[in-house]
Structure 1
Amino acid sequence: MDTLTVTEILDASLTDWRRLAQGLHARYRTRDFRTGLALVDAAAQAAEEADHHPDVTLRYASVEFRLLSHDAGGVTDRDVELARRISEIAAGLGVEATPQKLALVELGLDTADVAALGPFWAALLTGSATNVDGDDVVDRTGQTPLIWFQHTDPHETPRQRFHLDVWVPHDVADERIAAAVAAGGTIVDDSPAPTFTVLADAEGNRACVCTCLGR
């Protein structure tokens, strides 16, 4: 099954959902645990019927869903169809979507030798040195952030090696950047925007605000 482009995903008009780093994400404000559990239970039934299953995080007052076709390596029509079904279920329960609350953090590490560093970080974070997929350290349990390796020339410390990638909905990025600047940050480079914007704190530590646009 073919993966969908960012434009195709946006054209699908999934009001509740946003494309972040790789998958479709939705967050629903359920206000109490019982309503959240009802939403998860109904979504699980729909997922079984579709034979396609989201990642789900249930908290006291909210539920988050992530949809991704792992076998295709991206978002497909299956994800879009199930996203629409979950939105219908949420609406039927009177549950409000809060896409503006979505965020996803990844760690980027500059290195000239992925083969040497990858197994170490995989073992440290996941307990197995084999959890390296290309340039990524992947925690299949979802307990730790994804680490991806940014290829660079060899260099000595203290040049910054780690940086945060903060993924936010494309229609929230400007607000998030403005908030960070107002809190003492600076914009280092916005030429790649809206794909990503490089920010720095007062001591020069950098992070990127990333969106799905332009990818």
Structure 2
Amino acid sequence: MDESTNGSGWMSPGAFHRAPDVSDWRVTGTGPQAVFTATSLAHAAELVAPIVAAAERLELLPDIDLRPEGIVVRVPYRDAAGIPAAAADFAAAVSRAAAERGLTPDPSRAQSIGIYVAEHSRADVRPFFIAALGYEPLGDTDAADPLRCGPQLAFNPITGDSPSRGRTHFDVFVPADQAEARVDAALAAGGRLADDSHAPAWWSLASPDNHGVDIAAWTDTFD
């Protein structure tokens, strides 16, 4: 990976986190994101113009989710190459602007949700889900909401049902420093640990009625 933080090129999550002034940000399954809390909708909206200015200067296309509670800023993955190298400079600029406006970073609230749709090896269910949900193909095996509002879908073949697990489960991508707390909370709420052999990259949990949820932290640390 190109670890530069200026100009063209791509970087890994590890390289992104080694860049200066990005401590407010975490990398989830859809790319780098930051959450800044606010006192009102108008307060949160003060960050929109600086975000747009930084995006235009660095030629990035971020997503902005504006709410009365705060603002979520994302640099979404738009292809499989990785995180745009300019994302680190963008993240630093947004964090500076947020601090100047009294918006408080809350990295613990960064997350993205995906749905892992398992299919038998002779089935191809992706066209059905794309049509039913109004999604678009993403790569060779996934699908995504064209406005990036809904969860991404991943389609992977299986040869049979896994014991004690549903065939479809949620992937919850959280910051690496929040993953174990999220796992503990889910277990305390009645969940069951199905598999921790891949921890701390991810933990596989099951609800009391055996619906699967993977708590994943690897997207925040991958190099």
TM-score where L is the length of structure 2: 0.86
1-structure distance, mates of 2:79, 2:170? 27
CA separation of 1:76 and 1:26: change in aligned 2, threshold 3 A: same
Which letter does structure 1 place at the counterpart of 2:174?
A: V
Total equivalences in the alignment? 213
How far the C-alpha of 1:83 sits from its partner, in A, is 0.6
Spell out the pairing of 1:1-215 with structure 2 (5 A cutoff): 1-12=8-19, 14-68=22-76, 70=78, 73-113=81-121, 116-126=124-134, 131-153=137-159, 160-211=166-217, 212=219, 213-214=221-222
Q: Which residue of 1 aligns with 2:3?
A: none
1-structure distance, mates of 2:79, 2:212? 34
| Structure 2: gaps of 5 or more residues | 1-7
| Structure 1: gaps of 5 or more residues | none
Asked if structure 1 preserves the Cα contact closer than 8 Å seen for 2:26 and 2:34, the reply is yes
Displacement over 6 Å in runs of 4+: none
Which letter does structure 2 place at the counterpart of 1:9?
A: F
2-structure distance, mates of 1:194, 1:106? 18
How far the C-alpha of 1:75 sits from its partner, in A, is 0.7
TM-score where L is the length of structure 1: 0.89
How far the C-alpha of 1:145 sits from its partner, in A, is 1.1
2-structure distance, mates of 1:70, 1:102? 19
How far the C-alpha of 1:185 sits from its partner, in A, is 1.1
Two-structure CA RMSD over aligned residues (Å): 2.3
CA separation of 1:137 and 1:114: change in aligned 2, threshold 3 A: farther
1-structure distance, mates of 2:159, 2:130? 22
